[in-house]
Amino acid sequence: MLLLRGADSLSEAAKARLEKVFATDDPIGKLKAAWDVKEQVRTLLRTGSLEDAELAKEDLERLVKESDQPETTRLWRTLCRWWTEIEVLIVTGATTGKVEANNTSIKHIKRTGRGFVNSTNYTTRIMLRSAARTAVNFPLQ
């Protein structure tokens, strides 16, 4: 779990443990290189301007080349393919998080319905669930 946490959220003790892991369990440095790539992706996604994002992208490219691992290379190619969408995220801060949450809720309703045979009832149940969530988020005055 230590490797999954962001560097900015690690306590001093956790940082020391992580350094110990890198020193003792990663003799050729592949784990550290992959962790550095992960941290640079986090840095890139937190940038507030396209100029900062371009600089972070250049640093990421350097780290990917230095790591010379198929996983990080594949990540780099994916990031390059999605760069236009990433730029939109950086400029607007807009994500598809709400849409994904709604899709998850609909899938949950479908699973708990155990196979609706009446599509009208299925649609009604989805709409009622959405209306109830909206009412909680926007109470009447």
Q: What value does the mean pLDDT take over residues 4-14?
A: 93
Whole-angstrom CA distances from 39 to 6, 22, 26, 32, 36 are: 7, 15, 17, 10, 5
Domain membership of residue 124 (yes or no) is yes
Same domain membership, residue 78 and residue 39: yes
Q: Are 23 and 64 in a shared domain?
A: yes
Domains in the chain: how many in total?
2
Q: Same domain for 105 and 57?
A: no
Residues 111 and 61 in one domain: no
pLDDT tens, residue by residue, 46-75: 998 999 999 999 999 999 999 999 999 999
Of the listed ranges 2-6, 79-83, 98-102, the one predicted with least confidence? 98-102
In a domain? residue 105: yes
Higher pLDDT: 138 or 92? It is 92
The verdict on residue 119 lying in a domain is yes
Which of 92, 113, 129 represents a domain boundary (last residue)?
92
Phi, psi of 60, deg, nearest 5: -65, -45
Residue with more model confidence, 99 or 69 = 69
What confidence tier does 141 reach under pLDDT thresholds 50, 70, 90?
low
Residue range of the domain that includes 113: 97-137
Read off the pTM: 0.69
